[in-house]
Amino acid sequence: MERPIRIAGAGVSGLMAAIRLAQQGASVEIYERAPDSGANHAPRFDAVENWTTRADLRQVLSAWRIEIPLRQPDALEVFDSRADRYRATPERPTLYVVRRGPEPDSLEQAMKRQALNLGVRLRYRATLAPNEADLWAVGARARGRFLAAGLGFTTSHPDVVRVLVDRRLSPNAYAYLIVLDGHGTLSVVLTRQFKDARARLGEAVRAFQRLQPIKMIDARPSGGVGGSLDDFRRPTIGPPSLGEAAGFQDYLWGFGIRLALQSGDLAARALTEGTDYEESATREIRPLVQASLRLRALYDRVGDRGDRMLIRGIATVEDPGAMLRHAYELAAVRPMLGSSLASRRPTRAPAV
């Protein structure tokens, strides 16, 4: 009897690979150091980008036969450093919201239930050595480029997704407030000065309270780190690395869930269809990561004035996702963005 496929890590990428393998009839075991999927995350809301491919995320998930509790915000409110408000209500969502953590309605728990229903065996408080694993999905091995310091709370505040872009508050990043169904997350995202995270979070709370007072009940710390360039650049030794373990992160704004899902799918296909995972990831994921790094280098230079131009663009165009996707397509094939690129026809974004 052949042994089951073994996956180290029961986070998003590991669960995704397990689900896709089990859908094809494979026997799968997942080993996870934590006591449960999502247990490393305090309950919080997170966002999943919806601009990196031409297909809407819901269509992509349907093709993968993955059930994830996505929430579509009615609107996205963005405030600049002057507290000027921009409200985007695109027909196609620019992003979706998911709940993270060990709660029953979280992303991790929804994927865990689907994996169990397909016969995947999950072994918590258990580990695998690299030479024992077929897939490596244990998270980042090195310190990340992003740190999110936040609070999770309950509230009677109306549902809202609000972003504050102010480089004095969060240098070269942003702070955000998400409230859905009486639960809220307020967080500041940092790309530097990590030691000041607590003070920056306090400033973010005061900034959002000035915009619109909000009562935060039973507020508890939440947050995390992400985006390890060391993992992205390190040659693969041992089993294929997925998601954060491979450094698959959007280095412009810190998104990573969609790339984690995609890497899990590619790894499962490699084992069931005989494709080359590294080759597939190099073709379909790495160009998006490289594009985000090039856009990050540009974003670090534009300052508050550039922020306001970008915010106005996102809030006023009919499809901000298409605008962002166009920028990623250009950055994926060019080392620098400039006026000469604006007239060039973009290449097609990597397919999912």
Residue 13 contacts residue 132 (beta carbons within 8 Å): no
User: What is the model's pLDDT at position 144?
Assistant: 82
User: What is the model's pLDDT at position 6?
Assistant: 98
User: What is the model's pLDDT at position 227?
Assistant: 80
Low-confidence ranges of the chain (pLDDT < 70): 1, 142, 334-352
Q: Can you tell me the distance from the alpha carbon of 242 to that of 149, in angstroms, rounded to the nearest whole number? A: 25
Residue 294 contacts residue 337 (beta carbons within 8 Å): yes
Please give the full DSSP string across 222-250, using - where no structure is assigned.
EEEEE--HHHHHSPP-SSPB-GGGGT---
User: What is the model's pLDDT at position 236?
Assistant: 72
Residue type, 67: E
Scanning the chain, the segments in alpha helix (DSSP H) are 12-23, 57-64, 107-117, 197-211, 229-233, 257-273, 277-284, 286-316, 320-333, 339-342
3-state secondary structure of 185: strand
Nearest CA to 255 among 78, 120, 100, 80? 100
Read off the pTM: 0.91
User: What is the model's pLDDT at position 232?
Assistant: 87
Q: Can you tell me the distance from the alpha carbon of 5 to that of 239, in angstroms, rounded to the nearest whole number? A: 12
**Interhelix angle 57-64/257-273, nearest 10 degrees:** 30
